[in-house]
Amino acid sequence: MKYSIRINGYGSEITIGAVSEEEKAILSNTEKDLQELVFEDLEEVCGWSEIDDQFHCFGATSPFTIIIEDEEGKELHKIDEENIYEYDTEDFSLVENEYPEIDVTQDLLICYSGEKGSFFLGYVELEGEFDITKLKIVFSDVEVGDFFYFGEIISNVLYDGEELENWGGDTSGKSFDVLKNF
């Protein structure tokens, strides 16, 4: 049977990357707003989402809803930030936390696009029933030294130890923020 896993709600695309000397010069122009520099001047060299050698993730944050359905559309589980830990037992945790290491000694550009919509659609083909204890929702807790704390973002979904491919992702942008540490 084929099962679907959907993640909807609010979230973001976040990129953190070290800039080149050319990019740093563009972003150091004090005559323009940083967002203007990113969307206009930097675009001539590369897009903001390409500066991501430290971290890049498109995923849901809070509030979110994870819906697991069978191939007939029957809802098996509805998980959100309020009940996600109710599935935990002494031997199982639905959530796994990761802490990306960001090199704060680099000149960094941090871009955050706030989004709303569908962030993930993955499928699991099984001979038997869906086993919630084989599901793992990975959260990345993103922090850039004392300079920037983003919080948790769903960065990966696994079933039985295998990363699920994301066939979805249909969001609309709600906000955009940009920071630099130089």
Summarised one tens digit per residue, pLDDT across range 123-165 is 999 999 999 999 999 999 999 999 899 999 999 999 999 999 9
Calculate the alpha carbon distances from 7 to 1, 109, 129, 166 in Å: 20, 28, 20, 10
Question: Mean pLDDT over residues 44-65, rounded?
Answer: 96
Choose the weakest-confidence range: 53-57, 110-114, 166-170. 166-170
| Pairwise CA distance, residues 158 & 143, whole Å | 23
175 Cβ contact partners less than 8 Å away, ≥ 6 residues apart: 112, 113, 114
**Which two three-digit tokens encode residue 47?**
């897009």
pLDDT grade for 66, boundaries at 50, 70 and 90: very high
**Which two three-digit tokens encode residue 42?**
């930097």
pLDDT grade for 118, boundaries at 50, 70 and 90: very high
How many C-beta atoms lie closer than 10 Å to residue 24's C-beta? 14
Calculate the alpha carbon distances from 3 to 11, 15, 34 in Å: 23, 31, 44
Per-residue pLDDT at 169:
81
Q: Kindly tell me the sign of the dihedral angle through the C-alpha atoms of 55, 60, 62, 66.
A: negative
pLDDT grade for 36, boundaries at 50, 70 and 90: very high
| Angle formed at CA 79 by CA 13 and CA 70, multiple of 5 degrees | 100
